[in-house]
Amino acid sequence: MELLSTSLVDWSRGQFALTAMYHWLFVPLTLGLGVIQAIMETIYVKTGKEEWKKAAKFWMTIFGINFAIGVATGIILEFQFGTNWSNYSFFVGDIFGAPLAIEGILAFFMEATFISIMFFGWNKVSKGVHLAATWLTITGATLSALWILVANAWMQLPLGMEFNPTTVRNEMVDFWSIISSPVAINKFFHAVASGWVEASVIVLGISSWYLIKKRKEEFAKKSILVAASFGLFAVLFIIFTGHGSAQQVAAHQPMKLAVMEGLYEGREGAPLVAMGVINPKKETYNDDVDPVVMAIEFPKMLSWLSFSDVNAYVPGIRNIVEGGYTKPDGKIADSFETKKQMGQTAITALKNYKIAEAAKDTAAMAVHKTTLDANYKYFGYGYLDKPEDTIPNVPLVFYSFHIMVILGVLFLLNFALALFLGWKNKLSDYKWILWVFLWTIPLGYLAGQLGWIVAEVGRQPWTIQDILPVQAAVSSLQTSSVLITFVLFAVLFTVLLIAEISIMLKQIRKGPESN
């Protein structure tokens, strides 16, 4: 596995990030709208009131637009594992491919079957059958997301595998441990809940526009009540799952946690930074410059969120690099230099194993495999040069995380206020609040994007935590080829986005009675 040029690595990462971020513009809204429309159809079936049917059909149209474009970008995203990240796919394809295959089966069979009934079966099947098809469609879409997130979680906490030096591949030995990984469980519920929040924000904003324009007011009020109720539940749920995710990050990816909080020096009873500014004078991980200035902190909250103990020790970036602190499991943390030495030892042992294998020297193979197994957990560190290589972009992750949290608080207040005014039937009395709801729509998209920046940029330089860095995972391509496809994808995805927005705006102007 030879290292490739920085420009190729950067352009490959950029292309994947571009595709993933465009894809994530469509998926969360699809997941959330699916539930909202299903709730509305359920009310229609229970009450028999036609206005709920019209509302469900309207939001189903918006759902369908996003679903179609989300599928298109998702297919391109998965193809990139073979085109741009072939070393990664070869190295872990036996494991990573399994959840993607299951996701494909669900997407092309379960979703494809029931979505046709959902869209075209209104006058062809009974109300109960149609309602079941609607719920099964969104269930299928959510389960598709589950398997994608299981694969992503495995990259961040590789479990249930064993490295085979003969094939130079990681092989699955425990499928259940992969799908039941605590990282996967928390990531799934947190990501899906973020989609629920985003969809609720958008439904609330669009419905507010109808009230501002004094159009479809009954439809708008009903949609606001559903969106605000569902959104409030989703925000509270995302707080719960976010706490679980923080504990998993603290346990398995301490560098990500430290970067999220701009924490360079570990401490007991570590505070949680509510707001702050990264100090531009901070140049290295081991200088004496304060990393965060003008910080507003909650005392001891980071220790509690991370380890459920207000006095727990939380390591900072410097401590993680230098090692020597006691981890929650009682073991002493290894330094970067120790990890690098172990990684190089593992790489050398693998090379020697292959030489012995070619010579059919079974005794030497056994010796080298023992050495490889003893050092394999830090295999990826053998490809890194210096401690700074293990530190993600601190300002990007720090600001993304804190802006995301601030937006979450804003959404919570919006949903609570909309629900209160909706029940009091006073929404139309406060036009300025409706404008706030409307202009919050872009912030719903932004929050989802920031969440993925924290999750993915925060784990750099790893494609597989501690085992495979990005520079060892990319395909051997011409940098110019990746650059050209990057530009082509950027143009294509932008055209798709413009088309989607145009179609959505056209449907919104028509309103529910046109569906």
Question: Which residue(s) pair with 292 in the sheet?
Answer: 278
Per-residue tokens: 104:
């494909």
- For residue 512, say if its preceding peptide bond is cis, omega within 30 degrees of 0: no
Residue ranges per structural domain of the chain:
6-253+393-457+459-514, 259-322, 336-383
Per-residue tokens: 426:
């006073």
Helix (H) or strand (E) holding 307: helix 301-307
Residues whose CB is less than 8 angstroms from the CB of residue 150 and which lie 6 or more positions away in sequence, other chains included: 99, 178, 179, 181, 184, 188
- Residue 35's closest CA among 225, 242, 223, 230? 230
Q: What is the largest CA-CA distance in the chain?
A: 84
C-alpha 123 chain-centroid distance: 38
- Residue length, the chain? 515
The secondary structure of residue 333, as a DSSP letter, is: P
pLDDT in tens, the chain (515 residues): 445 556 888 999 999 999 989 888 888 999 999 999 999 999 999 999 999 999 999 999 999 888 878 877 887 888 888 888 999 999 988 888 888 888 877 776 777 788 888 988 888 899 999 999 999 999 988 988 888 899 999 999 999 999 999 999 999 999 999 988 999 999 999 999 999 999 999 999 999 999 999 999 899 999 999 999 999 999 999 999 988 889 999 999 999 999 999 999 999 999 999 999 998 988 888 888 889 888 899 999 999 999 989 999 999 999 999 999 988 888 899 999 999 999 999 999 999 999 999 999 999 999 999 999 999 999 999 999 999 999 999 999 999 999 999 999 999 999 999 999 998 888 888 899 999 999 999 999 999 999 999 999 999 999 999 999 999 999 888 888 888 989 999 999 999 889 889 999 999 999 887 54
Q: Is 122 helix (H, G, I), strand (E, B) or coil?
A: coil
Q: Is 125 helix (H, G, I), strand (E, B) or coil?
A: coil
Residue with tokens 């490809």: 383
C-alpha 479 chain-centroid distance: 27
Residues whose CB is less than 8 angstroms from the CB of residue 118 and which lie 6 or more positions away in sequence, other chains included: 60, 130, 133, 134, 137
- Residue 338's closest CA among 324, 325, 327? 324
The secondary structure of residue 465, as a DSSP letter, is: T
**pTM assigned to the model:** 0.91
pLDDT of residue 375: 96
Please, are residues 447 and 407 in contact by the beta-carbon 8 Å criterion? yes
